[in-house]
Amino acid sequence: MAEDRLEQFKSDIAEMRIKDPHVGLETVLFWLGVVAMVAGIAVTVVAYFRSHNTSSALNQGDDHIIALIGVAITIAGAAVFLRYSLAAFLRFWLARLIYEQRTQTDRIVSARDGTMTARDGNVTSGV
């Protein structure tokens, strides 16, 4: 019975034409977000150490700006990463929720039809 439900779920997903998150532009942007987070952190750390290894105020100012750019890249990468990772999760969560609600509705309708039939046949059910 569980295998039948799984096959039904897979066919329902196929009917909904939900994109697979492991292909296409979404995957590229997901990994681009990860790379941007790591690169932004690396740029920030390198700029921090560069600013402390010089006594020139002009060079330190430039390194501070580079560090801020690294922080901005990290934040942008985190936003892209979150957007595409949550989109993939929520897409399948919503499909599963819809499937479970349809299954629950089918159970309620079949239970209601069963009690209606029992009442129509003069069978009392304690309700």
The vertex-25 CA angle with 30 and 33, nearest 5°, equals: 20
Predicted pLDDT at 126:
47
Predicted pLDDT at 22:
58
Q: Is residue 2 situated within a structural domain?
A: no
Residue 2 has pLDDT above 70, yes or no: no
Which of 4-18, 21-35, 75-89, 94-108 is the least confident region?
Answer: 4-18
Q: Is residue 17 situated within a structural domain?
A: no
Q: Is residue 55 situated within a structural domain?
A: yes
Mean predicted lDDT score pLDDT of the chain: 81
pTM above 0.85, yes or no: no
* pLDDT tens track for 66-124: 999 999 999 999 999 999 888 878 877 887 888 888 888 888 888 887 755 444 455 44
Could you tell me what percent of the chain has a pLDDT over 70?
83
Q: Is residue 3 situated within a structural domain?
A: no
Q: Is residue 104 situated within a structural domain?
A: yes
